[in-house]
Structure 1
Amino acid sequence: MALHSSDPFTAEGKQRAAKTTEGGPNHDSPSLPELRLVLLGRKGTGKSSSGNTILSISGGFESGKPTEECVKRRADIASYRVTVVDTPGWEWYYSGNGTPAWVTRETMRSVTVCSPGPHALLLVIRSSASVTEDYFRQVEEHLELLGKTAWAHTMLLFTRGDELGSIPIEQRIQNAGKSFQKLFERCENRFHVLENKRFGKDDAQVKELIRKIEEMVKERGGRHYESDPLLLGIEVEGKRRARERRKKQRIMETQAQKGIIKAVLTTDVLVPEGLDETSLFSRGSRRLPELRLVLLGERETGKSSAGNTILRGPTFFQTGQATEECTRQQAEISGRMVTVVDVPGWEGCPEGITPDRIKREICVSVTLCPPGPHVLLLTLRVDAIVRASAVREHLELLGEGIWRHTVLLFTRGDQLREGVTIEQHIQGGGKDLHWLMDKCGNRYHVISSIAWESDSSKAQVTSLLEKIEKMISLNRCEAFSPVVQEIRELGKQKNERFNMKLKEVNEKLQRQELELKRMREREVKSIRRIF
């Protein structure tokens, strides 16, 4: 980009900025020179809080929860109209799966949100963080998504400076390892420290940051980062995908509503007294012409692979990378149509916070196979720790009635220790697994990571479908529908209110009857006194 006389970092631009800001630093004038910044980094490094500190806006960026898409905010700070773009954080766990594609797209899109391009890319790192070789490699991979010139516009922004205590940041940098030194050198020794706790109390740290960015831009001849045409194409593609998702959502909602009406009209069936699980099983399972399944679970529990195994094909669902949105596939298995919906997984680690986007996908999943799924397969790896609280939190987004339609699906069955059966694994699985088994009515199945076309794999799927059909027979062949569950709950509440009212009336009648009885007794006693 050529350096024009209107550039804010030239002497002429600075003089004009001084004239327009005589009324104060926050004077709202359209002629203020622009300063455009993009915040990049891992999850949990404090990007959103840093954006609020820089702009001196308490609610500019929503902190305390994951950022789901690029967000731009603007304020007038230190003779500049400062624009800050907050971005979704990169994943730092699940190294085998890497960063989801949607986060990568948002990273690439961030530099197009503040056209014509940012003056600085602020790489946000916690002051106390340990920069390992993996950390450095991850930063390198994500910044190089923006092109080779990105490093020339990058500055390290250390957050939570108060965590350093009495140790100067220079000493922290000097004593850091080789990976940290490499990262520092790639940024040409540019850095700044922010203490977000000083927000609103001291703007000196923000003014100093802006001064450092001014110097960096001057070293580049006043040039800002120039967006690659490919990245502009990603911005257009992102908007197109958003329109397609909204259209798909509307279509699915319409289909779901039609299915719900039909379900409500056909589920008012009474269960004969004395009919228990044993008698239903003894009659044999009812064979349905269609089975509708939804796969739910944490990330990397093998949902997509399980979907391919069930549908007996390797390409129905894409494996090897994070599922970004619900995907529905169908195939004819053993003479019936089987529909499987694969759902994005929630974060499994204790400190992981599930983005609202994932929660929305979970809620949408049951509408993609109208009038509703017959079963929800909760995937659990046999070689991973089960956290019942996380499972409950996410499944009950669909309502408490979800449990009677849920089956535990253990994946990677071939990872069980030699000589250990799945029953023994469950027995020794701990309190959380036992709680889940109880909630699911002790329904479970295990599949192995073996070739889908093998006889063993086909036998596993056949056995799973048989178990599902038995469960469906117990549920009177009803599919799960959140709206139906809500209608039933309302009916239950209405019945409870009616019963309470009836109880109140009966108690009132009993009190009146008791009072009449006492009145008659008093009258009899008074008559006896007279005679």
Structure 2
Amino acid sequence: MHKFLRTFLLCQSSKAVETTVVITNVTLNDSILVILIGSRWAGKSSSGNTILRKESFECGRTRTAQSEVRHGLVDGRKLTVIDAPGWSSSLSLAEIPEGDKQRFKLNVSKCPPGPSAFLLVIPIDSAFSVEQKTSVKEHMKLLGERVWRYTMVLFTCGDYLGEKTIEQHIESEGQALKWLIEKCLNRYHVFNNKDESNLSQVTKLLQKIEEMVCYNGGSYYKVEEHIFQVIKEKQKEVAERAEERRKKNHNCAIPGNDPPHNFL
């Protein structure tokens, strides 16, 4: 374990200002737990492999259907990476099945004491639209406003930048992406998941995560207990309804269980 004195880049009044934050009583553990979140096909699984520097998550063929947890040792740190199922940017929160909402919220309880950081994965090779902004906003709302303090944007497809800097890309994308960066207190990082030899991109990401942990006083993100109980109850209700449907379908499939017919 070790203590930190870092210079943070914070966002105040929509302007990035450099602020020196002195933390003398924050002790960081050598272990880091991150959750990869974002829309489908954003590159979450590939990013998980890049972070762990090994092929831990299956990529490309199928989308992640349920949360997957992998562990590794990188730069002397014990890492736990959770690859959460991606959401559909075309669906509003009201259109998302209740079970999917509860599973998304329960991701934070996969590995106690809780995540050090949420990495919100955004691909550079496609525009970040107003619709995507709305989708991100609604999904993050499920975890509470406090989650933004623990969230960093992780841009993928860094090779698409070419000669542009990530700051130039953010500026050219418009207000939707600028809003997201501001919500994350100007915390972002860029990955080129095709460049496996670039080990420094992971080292720099871990440094940024540690700075964020320091900013949060060394605390982990936790769902409040009463909210957690509501989630568990709703998940139980969803499971019970699914079981009722299964039994009903099973009974209908048994010969002789057909409803009586009226013959005239």
**For residue 211 of structure 1, what is the amino acid of its counterpart?**
Q
Q: Which residue of 2 aligns with 1:10?
A: 3
Alpha-carbon distance between aligned partners in 2 of 1:227 and 1:10, rounded to the nearest angstrom:
26
Structure 2 counterpart of 1:210, from 203, 206, 210: 206
Measure how far apart 1:185 and its partner are: 0.9
Q: Which residue of 2 aligns with 1:110?
A: 107
The 1:97/1:152 distance shift into structure 2, 3 A limit, reads: closer
Alpha-carbon distance between aligned partners in 2 of 1:229 and 1:258, rounded to the nearest angstrom:
44
Conserved? CA contact 2:98–2:238, under 8 Å:
no
Deviation sequence 1:125-162 (CA, Å, 0-9, x none): 00123222222222111112111111111100001111
Alpha-carbon distance between aligned partners in 2 of 1:43 and 1:9, rounded to the nearest angstrom:
36
Deviation sequence 1:426-462 (CA, Å, 0-9, x none): xxxxxxxxxxxxxxxxxxxxxxxxxxxxxxxxxxxxx
Q: Does 1:39 align with 2:32?
A: no
Give me the TM-score of the superposition, normalised by structure 2: 0.78
Conserved? CA contact 2:93–2:138, under 8 Å:
no
**For residue 216 of structure 1, what is the amino acid of its counterpart?**
M
Conserved? CA contact 2:119–2:152, under 8 Å:
yes
Give matches, 1:225-304, under 5 Å.
225-233=221-229, 236-237=232-233, 240=236, 244=240, 251=247, 255=251, 258-259=254-255, 289=260
Alpha-carbon distance between aligned partners in 2 of 1:46 and 1:237, rounded to the nearest angstrom:
32
Q: Which residue of 1 aligns with 2:167?
A: 170
Conserved? CA contact 1:105–1:234, under 8 Å:
no
Alpha-carbon distance between aligned partners in 2 of 1:234 and 1:89, rounded to the nearest angstrom:
23
Conserved? CA contact 1:121–1:153, under 8 Å:
yes
Give matches, 1:406-485, under 5 Å.
none
For the aligned residue pairs, the C-alpha RMSD in angstroms reads 3.0
Q: Which residue of 2 aligns with 1:188?
A: 185
Measure how far apart 1:118 and its partner are: 0.9
The 1:234/1:88 distance shift into structure 2, 3 A limit, reads: farther
Alpha-carbon distance between aligned partners in 2 of 1:78 and 1:125, rounded to the nearest angstrom:
25
Conserved? CA contact 1:89–1:103, under 8 Å:
no
Conserved? CA contact 2:124–2:157, under 8 Å:
yes
- Is the partner of 1:233 in helix, strand or coil? helix
Conserved? CA contact 2:93–2:135, under 8 Å:
no
Conserved? CA contact 1:10–1:222, under 8 Å:
no
Alpha-carbon distance between aligned partners in 1 of 2:96 and 2:162, rounded to the nearest angstrom:
33
Higher strand share: 2
Conserved? CA contact 1:108–1:231, under 8 Å:
no
Alpha-carbon distance between aligned partners in 2 of 1:246 and 1:141, rounded to the nearest angstrom:
25
Conserved? CA contact 2:93–2:139, under 8 Å:
no
Measure how far apart 1:97 and its partner are: 6.3
The 1:229/1:47 distance shift into structure 2, 3 A limit, reads: same
Measure how far apart 1:9 and its partner are: 5.4
- Is the partner of 2:142 in helix, strand or coil? helix
Conserved? CA contact 2:102–2:235, under 8 Å:
no
Conserved? CA contact 2:89–2:131, under 8 Å:
no
Conserved? CA contact 1:9–1:217, under 8 Å:
no
The 1:133/1:9 distance shift into structure 2, 3 A limit, reads: farther
Measure how far apart 1:114 and its partner are: 2.3
Give matches, 1:52-451, under 5 Å.
52-58=49-55, 60-64=56-60, 65-94=62-91, 98-199=95-196, 201-233=197-229, 236-237=232-233, 240=236, 244=240, 251=247, 255=251, 258-259=254-255, 289=260
The 1:241/1:78 distance shift into structure 2, 3 A limit, reads: farther
Alpha-carbon distance between aligned partners in 2 of 1:96 and 1:122, rounded to the nearest angstrom:
20
Deviation sequence 1:164-222 (CA, Å, 0-9, x none): 222221211122201211111111110001111123x2321111100110111112221
What percentage of aligned pairs have identical amino acids? 35
Q: Which residue of 2 aligns with 1:347?
A: none
Structure with higher Rg: it is 1
Give me the TM-score of the superposition, normalised by structure 1: 0.41
Alpha-carbon distance between aligned partners in 2 of 1:216 and 1:231, rounded to the nearest angstrom:
24
Consecutive unaligned residues in structure 2, runs of 5 or more = 5-28
The 1:253/1:139 distance shift into structure 2, 3 A limit, reads: closer
Deviation sequence 1:245-292 (CA, Å, 0-9, x none): 786587568647743xx79xxxxxxxxxxxxxxxxxxxxxxxx945xx
Q: Which residue of 1 aligns with 2:21?
A: none
Q: Which residue of 2 aligns with 1:516?
A: none
Q: Which residue of 1 aligns with 2:46?
A: 49
Alpha-carbon distance between aligned partners in 1 of 2:93 and 2:163, rounded to the nearest angstrom:
38
Measure how far apart 1:237 and its partner are: 3.9
Greater relative CO (CA pairs within 8 A, separation 6+) = 2
The 1:131/1:257 distance shift into structure 2, 3 A limit, reads: closer
The 1:147/1:196 distance shift into structure 2, 3 A limit, reads: same
Consecutive unaligned residues in structure 1, runs of 5 or more = 1-7, 12-31, 264-287, 291-334, 337-531
**For residue 63 of structure 1, what is the amino acid of its counterpart?**
C
The 1:53/1:114 distance shift into structure 2, 3 A limit, reads: same
The 1:55/1:249 distance shift into structure 2, 3 A limit, reads: farther
Alpha-carbon distance between aligned partners in 2 of 1:103 and 1:70, rounded to the nearest angstrom:
11
